[in-house]
Amino acid sequence: MIDKVYCADVKPEMEGKRVKLAGWVYRKREVGKKVFIVLRDSSGIVQVVFSKELNEEAYREAKKLGIESSVIIEGTVKADPRAPTGAEVQADKLQVIQNVDFFPITKDASPEFLLDVRHLHLRSPKVASIMKVKATLVQAAREWLLQDGWYEVFPPILVTGAVEGGSTLFKLKYFDRYAYLSQSAQLYLEAAIFGLEKVWSLTPSFRAEKSRTRRHLTEFWHLELEAAWMDLWDIMKVEEELVSYMVQRALELRRSEIENFRKDLTTLKNAVPPFPRISYDEAIDILQSKGVEIEWGEDMGADEERVLTEEFESPFFVYGYPKHIKAFYMKEDPEDPRKVLAADMLAPEGYGEIIGGSQREDDYDKLVQRILEEGMNPEDYQWYLDLRKYGSVPHSGFGLGLERLVAWVLKLDHVRWATLFPRTPSRLYP
Ligand code: NSS
């Protein structure tokens, strides 16, 4: 291991100090008898100056460096208000690990090209910032879940049944039969609450979703919680507390990264409980009053949700959806059998749904009836139905799409930028 200083840690206060840096050439320009290199590492960037006077050989080598060459540099820190970070390193030693003639990503690269070379694109400070924010959001979720008494569990990814509808299942050959890739850990989390009461998991979820929208991936990271003894209103409180903690913690720990993507932090700062709550009925009224063609009973798509988000300056809930547009496992509203005890959380600024949650149907007969109504076979859900036979309890849960949360926090134009190697119908490589 190299005993190196990270680029971002080179500060004006270190004037006169000797440092060793290791990283990649981000920018290079020559002025007179000097070569200015902007060096990049995981922490950020720093300016490094090679001058003919200080070390002629190093200066000559530096002149030859191409973008993304890997190097180890030694030199002395000098405070310089003109340098991007207020300090630069005057280099007297250069070890070239690999010189690069030509790096394929140039300034005018199209989004499609950047995705074609995503394995190289990942090193850009912009992508690194997105991944840091994503990691911090997950770290924050873990902190909150731990202090609130939730157990992390590790559900299967290879499964035998649909959770969110058969049409988006990925089917694969499993020896002499078929299996599917999990769409959601929910049903397994429901089984786990009988031993652990409050459980969560973070897993990849898969959806053979053909719709090409800015909020759909075929593989996404799914943060799911499930709790015994909680009704819909209880789980909504959990949702807003968790999301609020994640967002506020990201603002605290990743402020500069977030500000690189959005100048206005209002909606993030506003993400503190209680989030506004409107019923599906109210949502339909709002949409109709704004000229959107939608009738009671119809599902809201991305377009309708976008219009709805104009009404809010923070994340908000829509609850009480019609039964027939929602999944089979949701509990019927005892006060209105046309509806289910479900709530989605929508992010503002046009982003829309980031969480889908509900109270679960805990009655055996009602659940069988719902499975039949959906045209599914109760035999495929025997184990799941068993949970309603042996000490069934009221319980609720939800799933948060991590990339959708990141996309809103950083105001990204597509969820694909919020994941290392995005998978969409047309993209499986790299
Ligand atoms: O389909 S969901 O609305 N709900 C479920 O899967 C429940 N079974 C979760 C649960 O209660 N444990 O998906 C939940 C969230 C949704 O709000 C989105 O934020 C995200 O998962 N999601 C997606 N993100 C990216 N791409 C796709 N295709 C996608 N589908 C859902």
* DSSP structure class, residue 310: T
* Structural domain contains residue 163: yes
- Domain with 251 in it: 115-418
Say yes or no: 151 and 204 in one domain: yes
Give the dihedral of Cα atoms 123, 85, 247, 264; nearest 10 deg: -110
pLDDT of residue 2: 84
Give the atom of ligand 1 at the shortest distance from the alpha carbon of 355: 17
Q: Concatenate the DSSP letters of all residues of 190-217 into one string.
A: HHHHHHHSEEEEEEEEE-------TT--
Residue of 157, 181, 184 to mutate, ligand 1, most atoms within 8 A of C-beta: 184
Token pair of 63 as six digits: 């002149």
Please provide residue 405's backbone torsions phi and psi, each rounded to the nearest 5 degrees. Answer: -65, -45
This prediction's pTM = 0.98
Give the atom of ligand 1 at the shortest distance from the alpha carbon of 163: 8
- Please say whether the beta carbons of 357 and 342 come within 8 A: yes
Say yes or no: 93 and 123 in one domain: no
Say yes or no: 167 and 123 in one domain: yes
Token pair of 333 as six digits: 């509203």
Centroid of chain to Cα 345 = 15
Say yes or no: 270 and 375 in one domain: yes
Indicate if the alpha-carbon torsion angle 80, 83, 88, 91 is positive or negative: negative
pLDDT of residue 83: 85
Tell me, in angstroms, the distance from the centre of ligand 1 to residue 108's CA.
34
CATH number at residue 361: 3.30.930.10
d(CA 59, CA 40): 19
pLDDT of residue 302: 95
**Residue nearest to ligand 1 atom 11, measured at CA:** 398
pLDDT of residue 262: 98
Say yes or no: 120 and 231 in one domain: yes
* Ligand 1 lining (C-beta closer than 6 Å): 163-164, 184, 186, 207, 209, 216-217, 220, 222, 224, 353-357, 397-401, 403-404, 415
Show which of 69, 98, 127 is a domain's final residue: 98
d(CA 399, CA 239): 9
d(CA 205, CA 402): 11
> 317 CB contacts (<8 Å, ≥6 apart)?
236, 239, 240, 275, 276, 277, 278, 343, 344, 345, 346
Query: Which residue type occupies 253?
Result: L
* Biggest distance spanned by C-alpha atoms of the chain: 86
Taking only the tens of pLDDT, the chain with its 430 residues reads 889 999 999 999 999 999 999 999 999 999 999 999 999 999 999 999 999 999 999 999 999 999 999 999 999 999 999 888 899 999 999 999 999 999 999 999 999 999 999 999 999 999 999 999 999 999 999 999 999 999 999 999 999 999 999 899 999 999 999 999 999 999 999 999 999 999 999 999 999 998 889 999 999 999 999 999 999 999 999 999 999 999 999 999 999 999 999 999 999 999 999 999 999 999 999 999 999 999 999 999 999 999 999 999 999 999 999 999 999 999 999 999 999 999 999 999 999 999 999 999 999 999 999 999 999 999 999 999 999 999 999 999 999 999 999 999 999 999 999 999 999 999 999 9
* Structural domain contains residue 429: no
For the chain, give me the number of helices (H) and strands (E)? 13, 18
Please provide residue 30's backbone torsions phi and psi, each rounded to the nearest 5 degrees. Answer: -115, 130
Tell me, in angstroms, the distance from the centre of ligand 1 to residue 406's CA.
14
